[in-house]
Amino acid sequence: MDSGGWIVYLCIFFIFFGKILEYTSSYHDRWFANLTLTPEARKLDGQYRSFLLERQRLREENNSISAQDNYARWTKNNRKLGELDKKLNTVRNQMQETNASSKKIFGKIKLIGLTIPFWILKIWQRNHVVYHFPKQDLFPKLMTGVWARGWLYLALGPLQYLRNGALNIHDYVPLGVSLGIWIWALQTTINTLEFLVKQLILTKSVNPPPQKTKPRTEPEVKNLQKLEITDDKVELD
């Protein structure tokens, strides 16, 4: 690795810090509620917690009693649960409105402190060599150019070949893997590992739906009426 290792370490910090923010996105609302110091936000948070505890208590009580033996009590608790659900939705919407300003501030801080500096660093130091090749002809010329100058070389390579009749990489000194390609490879590896973990470990297996078997129908038996001759008389008109 090149002596300017601070560039690589700073890129690793930006990448993994961004992933941490992505993984913890479901907890951001709670963090914003805790960071908000206004009396209104504290009041809404207290109401939400009290309603949630009361709802949990009523659900446990309903699960412990029989609906047939204690119908009046069970129905009363069910009515209270419906009212608590409405109150929880109302308080949750109010909390989201209160935290909207905190989200905007957090978005601006993330943009100024993480996204823009990382983008500037990638553009400014995109040709910084992270790994040096031990020799020049270790890879094909086209691949060596991509490692050194990024994916843009793949698009400009044919134009250079048509103009000069060859792919010249002697101006890429020293030869090696540039920062832009190294960041692309690192992010691709992280995303692939993340996908595999989600698919193989976190995602629950879904059982195939049971096949519906058609019920066997016995063939209908027609009731044949037996004709019996009860009289041998023949009447003539």
- Nearest to residue 144, comparing CAs of 136, 163, 127? 136
Termini Cα distance of the chain: 125
Q: To which H or E segment does residue 92 belong?
A: helix 71-110
Task: Give the per-residue pLDDT at 100.
Answer: 75
Q: Is 225 left (phi over 0), alpha (psi -120 to 50) or beta?
A: beta
Distance CA 178, CA 144 (A): 10
According to DSSP, the β-strands at 129-132 and 176-178 are antiparallel
Q: How far is CA 102 from CA 31, 84, 96, in A?
A: 10, 27, 10
At 73 the pLDDT is 82
Q: What is the pTM of this model?
A: 0.54
Rg of the Cα atoms in the chain: 37
Q: What is the pLDDT of residues 136-150, one digit of tens each?
A: 677 777 677 777 777
For residue 219, how far is the Cα from the chain centroid? 55
Neighbours of 229 (CB within 10 A): 5
Residue 30 makes CB contacts below 8 A (sequence gap 6+) with none
Q: What are phi and psi of 176, to 5 degrees?
A: 170, -165
Residue ranges of domains in the chain, CATH in brackets? 1-125 (1.10.287.660)
How many percent of the chain have pLDDT more than 70?
Answer: 72
Detail the DSSP E strand segments found in the chain. 129-132, 176-178
Q: d(Cα 50, Cα 57) in Å, to the nearest integer?
A: 11
Q: What pLDDT is recorded for position 192?
A: 92
Q: How far apart are CA 129 and CA 4, in angstroms?
A: 9
Q: What is the pLDDT of residues 152-178, one digit of tens each?
A: 777 776 776 677 666 565 555 557 888
Residues of the chain with pLDDT under 50: 1-2, 220-224, 226-227, 234, 236-237
Q: Could you tell me which residues come within 8 angstroms of residue 42 by beta carbon, excluding any fewer than 6 positions away? A: 36
Nearest to 148 by CA among 125, 185, 167, 175: 175
